[in-house]
């Protein structure tokens, strides 16, 4: 189930329009956990798929001594990430290139670990994203993803509505497992409960702690964002954005939507 063509801002759209750098649910706590389960060590070659502004890729290089390649489909994001790496003084260990996560521009078996933080579910073909991640990681190498999940049994109609409001499509935890297996991953381990706690969902700011979803944006940031939404979508767009926010986060509080971390190893026999 993928989003239909709609003309009102989703949660993801509103965040993008805000211009504020936000992280995935769980914030740097989950990024640190991602590095732990990937067993990042100095000298490893790591691919960060859909690397965005490069925040996580830079974090890995600075804290674990790995060499990171970040890939994103947005030229704007690539430029922003490269600028951040230069300012951090680690351009020798982090590089960013333009590319599609559904057709990675790398040879088979190129990386020791491949990571995708919160962006497997955005492209049209999530299975192909996973297929490509497993293709370019070395045999026995680690693939780590984290993505939104359905935490309770919902009707197709309710899932569709919440996905439209969110801007991405959560899957059942078992679906992510099956897709990773199909891509060639074995020894899959998943963590759901800790990262599905509501307070984890609004822990998304790099610059400060957030204790509630209404505090993700400051009052000034919220006013600027609403102004930008008005300019792009009109007053109806503002109304819809506020409605989406209320409905979506209530679904998080009600335990309908959660978040999961998945770790798998490339099955060398499948790619022999």
Which amino acids are annotated catalytic?
Answer: 117
CA distances 107 to 70, 104, 123, 138, Å, are 15, 8, 21, 10
Which residues is 186 bridged to in the sheet? 265
Residue with tokens 């890995």: 60
On whether the CB atoms of residues 266 and 185 are closer than 8 A, the answer is: yes
On whether the CB atoms of residues 216 and 204 are closer than 8 A, the answer is: yes
């Amino acid at each position: 189930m993928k989003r239909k063509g709609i003309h009102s801002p989703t949660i993801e759209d509103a965040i993008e329009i805000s211009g504020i750098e936000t992280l995935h649910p769980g914030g740097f706590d989950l990024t640190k956990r991602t590095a732990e389960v990937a067993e990042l060590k100095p000298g490893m070659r790591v691919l960060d798929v859909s690397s965005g502004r490069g925040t996580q890729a830079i974090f890995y290089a600075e804290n674990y001594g790995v060499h990171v390649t970040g890939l994103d489909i947005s030229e704007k994001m690539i430029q922003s990430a490269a600028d951040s790496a230069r300012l951090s003084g680690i351009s020798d260990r982090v590089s960013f290139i333009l590319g599609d996560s559904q057709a990675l521009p790398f040879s088979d078996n190129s990386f020791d670990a491949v990571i995708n933080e919160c962006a497997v579910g955005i492209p049209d073909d999530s299975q192909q994203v996973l297929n490509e991640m497993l293709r370019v990681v070395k045999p026995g190498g680690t693939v780590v993803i984290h993505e939104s999940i359905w935490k309770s049994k919902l009707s197709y109609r309710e899932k569709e509505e919440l996905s439209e409001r969110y801007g991405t499509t959560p899957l059942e935890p078992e679906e992510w497992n099956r897709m990773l297996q199909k891509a060639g991953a074995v020894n899959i381990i998943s963590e759901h409960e800790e990262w599905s706690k509501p307070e984890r969902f609004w822990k998304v700011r790099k610059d400060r702690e957030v204790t509630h979803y209404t505090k993700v944006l400051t009052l000034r940031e919220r006013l600027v964002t609403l102004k930008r939404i008005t300019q792009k979508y009109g007053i109806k767009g503002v109304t819809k954005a506020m409605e989406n926010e209320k409905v979506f986060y209530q679904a998080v509080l009600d335990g309908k939507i959660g978040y999961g971390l998945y770790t798998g190893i490339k099955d060398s026999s499948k790619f022999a």
